[in-house]
Amino acid sequence: MLESEKGGSGPRNLDDPAVLVQELYDIGVVTKRGPDSVDLPDIYRLAFDISRRGGVPRMPV
Tell whether 6 is covered by a domain: no
Tell whether 44 is covered by a domain: yes
Of 4-8, 35-39, 41-45, the range with the lowest mean pLDDT is 4-8
Higher pLDDT, 61 or 1: 61
Tell whether 21 is covered by a domain: yes
CB 20 within 8 A of CB 11: yes
Tell whether 5 is covered by a domain: no
What's the rounded Cα separation, in Å, for the pair 19 and 25? 10
Tell whether 47 is covered by a domain: yes
Helices (H), 2-61: 17-26, 42-47
CB 37 within 8 A of CB 43: no
pLDDT for res 56? 73
Mean pLDDT of the region 3-8: 60
**Range(s) of the domain holding residue 25:** 14-51
Summary mean pLDDT of the chain: 79
Name 34's bridge partners: 37
pTM: 0.59
Give per-residue pLDDT as tens, 8-32.
777 777 788 888 888 889 999 899 8
Split into its structural domains, the chain has a count of: 1
Tell whether 32 is covered by a domain: yes
Tell whether 35 is covered by a domain: yes
What's the rounded Cα separation, in Å, for the pair 40 and 34? 13
